[in-house]
Structure 1
Amino acid sequence: MNRHLYTLLLHLLLPIIVLRLFWRAWRAPAYGRRIGERFAFGLPPMRQGGIWVHAVSLGESIAAAPLIRELLARYPHLPITVTSMTPTGSERIQALFGERIQHCYLPYDLPWACTRFFRHVQPRLAVIMETELWPNHIHQCAKHGVPAALANARLSERSARGYARFHKLTAPMLADLSLIAAQTHVEAERFRQLGARDSCVQVTGSIKFDLSVDAELPRRATALRQEWSATERPVWIAASTHAGEDEVVLAAHRRLLADYPQALLILVPRHPERFVAVFDLCQREGFSTVRRSRGDAVTAQTTVLLGDTLGELLFLYALADLAFVGGSLVENGGHNLLEPAALGKPLLSGPHLFNFLEIAAQLSAANDLLEVSDAEMLYQHLANLFGEPDRAQQMAAGGLAVLQANQGSLERLLVGLERLLARE
Structure 2
Amino acid sequence: MNRPTYNLLWRLAMPLVLARLWWRGLRESGYRKHWNERRGHYGARGAGWHTLWIHAVSVGETRAAEPLVDALMALYPNSRILMTHMTPTGRAAGHELFARHGDRFVQSYLPYDTVSKLTRFMRHFTPRICILMETEVWPNLIAVCKTRGITVALVNARLSERSLRRAGRFGRLMTQAAAQLSLVAAQTERDASRISSLGAPRVVITGNIKFDVAVPAAALARGRFLRQRINADADGDSGGAGRPVLLCASTREGEEALILDAFKAMPERPPGMLLLLVPRHPQRFDEVANLAGLRGLRVARRSTLGQDGADLDSAVEVLVGDTMGEMVAYYAACDCAFIGGSLLPLGGQNLIEACAVGKPVLIGAHTFNFAVASDEAVAAGAAVRVVDAAAMLAQARQLLLDTMTRNSMGAAAFGFAAAHRGATTRTVELLQGLIY
Give TM-score scaled by structure 1 length: 0.95
Alignment coverage as a number of residue pairs: 420
Shift of 1:44: 6.5
User: 1:234 — aligned with what?
Assistant: 244
- 1:91 is aligned to 2:95: no
Shift of 1:43: 5.2
**Mapping of 1:193-208 within 5 angstroms?**
193-197=197-201, 200-208=202-210
Distance 1:388 1:261 in 2: 13
- 1:60 is aligned to 2:61: yes
Alignment check: 8 A CA contact 1:167 1:194 kept:
no
- 1:323 is aligned to 2:337: yes
Alpha-carbon displacement from aligned partner over 1:21-73 (angstroms, at most 9, x marks no partner): 12211222221111111101235653443100000011111111121122122
- 1:2 is aligned to 2:12: no
- 1:211 is aligned to 2:221: no
Alignment check: 8 A CA contact 2:243 2:271 kept:
no
Alignment check: 8 A CA contact 2:259 2:390 kept:
no
**Mapping of 1:18-417 within 5 angstroms?**
18-42=18-42, 46-47=46-47, 48-98=49-99, 99=102, 100-197=104-201, 200-231=202-233, 232-256=242-266, 258-295=268-305, 297-417=311-431
Alignment check: 8 A CA contact 2:229 2:305 kept:
no
Distance 1:344 1:256 in 2: 26
Distance 1:154 1:327 in 2: 17
Identify unmatched segments of 5+ residues in structure 2: 234-241
Q: Which moved more, 1:376-385 or 1:214-223?
A: 214-223
Instruction: Kindly provide the amino acid, as one letter, of the partner of residue 214 in structure 1.
Output: P
3-state DSSP of counterpart to 1:150: strand
Shift of 1:219: 4.2
**Counterparts in 2 of 1:242 and 1:289: CA distance versus 1, 3 Å:** same
Instruction: Kindly provide the amino acid, as one letter, of the partner of residue 212 in structure 2.
Output: D
Alpha-carbon displacement from aligned partner over 1:186-205 (angstroms, at most 9, x marks no partner): 211111111111xx210001
Alpha-carbon displacement from aligned partner over 1:211-233 (angstroms, at most 9, x marks no partner): 22134543442344234422221
Distance 1:334 1:43 in 2: 39
3-state DSSP of counterpart to 1:258: coil
Instruction: Kindly provide the amino acid, as one letter, of the partner of residue 332 in structure 1.
Output: L
3-state DSSP of counterpart to 2:313: coil
3-state DSSP of counterpart to 1:403: helix
Distance 1:16 1:204 in 2: 39
Alignment check: 8 A CA contact 1:255 1:379 kept:
no
Shift of 1:253: 2.5
Distance 2:339 2:178 in 1: 32
Shift of 1:175: 1.1
Distance 1:162 1:273 in 2: 28
Alignment check: 8 A CA contact 2:139 2:174 kept:
yes
3-state DSSP of counterpart to 1:30: helix
3-state DSSP of counterpart to 2:407: helix
Alpha-carbon displacement from aligned partner over 1:273-317 (angstroms, at most 9, x marks no partner): 111111111111122212112345522122111111111111111
Distance 2:134 2:357 in 1: 24
Distance 2:349 2:157 in 1: 15
**Counterparts in 2 of 1:382 and 1:256: CA distance versus 1, 3 Å:** farther
Distance 1:227 1:214 in 2: 20
3-state DSSP of counterpart to 1:259: coil
Distance 1:373 1:28 in 2: 33
Give TM-score scaled by structure 2 length: 0.93
Distance 2:44 2:262 in 1: 47
Distance 1:252 1:67 in 2: 40
